[in-house]
Amino acid sequence: MTQAADLTERDEAAGRTVALSGNLSLAHLGDLPQRLTALGDGVKIVDLAGVDHLDTIGAWVIHRFSQERGATITGASPDAVRLLEVVSRNDMPTEDHPPTLPPVLRILDQIGLAVRLTFTTMIGLIGFLGATVLTIGHLIRHPRRMRLTAVVQRFEVVGITALGIIGLMSFLIGIVIAQQGSVQLRQFGMEVLTVNLVGRLTFRELGVLMTAIMVAGRSGSAFAAQIGTMVLNEEVDAMRTIGVQPMDALVMPRIIAAVVMMPLLGFYSSIVAVIGGGFLCAVSLDIPPVTFVQRLREVVPITDLYVGLVKAPVFGLIIAIAGCFQGLQVRGNAEEVGLRTTAAVVQAIFLVIVIDAFFAVFFTWIGWN
């Protein structure tokens, strides 16, 4: 039968001693904490030689009593010594409230943290781009390492299953462009120029740009979440253990699918947007479809189509790299997967818009305007 916790007092040469005995666990402490508190000052030694069992609560009671009285603990078993050390380390005083910075310094601190995070992320993305280029070179030299099944599967995920939502979005955007443009041009009696607006804007800019944003939100987030979950479940480490490179098996199929499918999706989006604009012109402006197509062929140069097709694979590369990079950065817990997925979408959209601005300046400089 387990003996309840008890204490006895005795005087020794080293000083007044309190000898504890029995089971010092939560269920058997009884009134021992109150009896220890009632003891007067002068206790020099706490003897644990008679203790049969000690849990965290009992160790905390002994630790606090010895700290308050300045007593020395003796006779503890090795397990009790380790438990008392753990309790002692976790009983250190902490600040209730960390020091607060003035508002101006706090704002500057947040700006500094954001700038540092931005530069760290950009360096990581550039390094990941370099690793991607090296992997592409390796696959060109060793084409048998290409995982065609995974690439075809990503073609379906990135491209085929996205046709519906991208088509609907593009059709509505074409209607909005035509409607808003016709309202403004009607003031000058130039509603016919709505065809110019719809054709040039969709083929040159909005078709591929809106497709890139949609792919970033749909496929880029999926890349980050899928790879991040694999990292969290240690599947990526297992792949490295058996000699499979994550860049070959996970990253390259997604990058190839995004780069190949983006021009096709961008062209498809532009055609559907033009159909949407032609639909509104036929309904609202009484411009027949035949006239709309003839006017479109006259005012839209072939270079506008080239501009969109040149930008599309670059946007696909950016989206895939951002998603895969953020997925591989997942550490810790499931919450990190959500944070990295959000970061992948935000970074991909931001970089797509920045690169689109550079493309606009470049194509104007070479005369494709």
Residue 157: is its pLDDT beyond 60? yes
Confidence class of residue 21 from pLDDT cuts 50, 70 and 90? confident
Domains of the chain: 6-89 (3.30.750.24), 123-365 (no CATH)
φ, ψ of residue 22 to 5 degrees: the values are 85, -155
* Residue 11 token pair: 């005087």
Characterise 320 by phi-psi region: left (phi > 0), alpha (psi -120 to 50), beta (else): alpha
Confidence class of residue 95 from pLDDT cuts 50, 70 and 90? low
- pLDDT confidence of residue 19: 82
Residue 92: is its pLDDT beyond 80? no
The H or E element spanning position 336 is helix 334-365
E-only strand ranges, the chain: 6-12, 15-24, 43-54, 72-74
- pLDDT confidence of residue 94: 53
Average pLDDT estimate for 327-350: 90
- 3-class DSSP assignment, residue 131: helix
- pLDDT confidence of residue 174: 92
Average pLDDT estimate for 301-316: 92
Residue 241: is its pLDDT beyond 70? yes
Gap between the Cα atoms of 83 and 78, Å rounded: 9
The residue type at 369: N
Average pLDDT estimate for 84-90: 82
Rounded (10°) angle between helices 252-284 and 103-141: 110
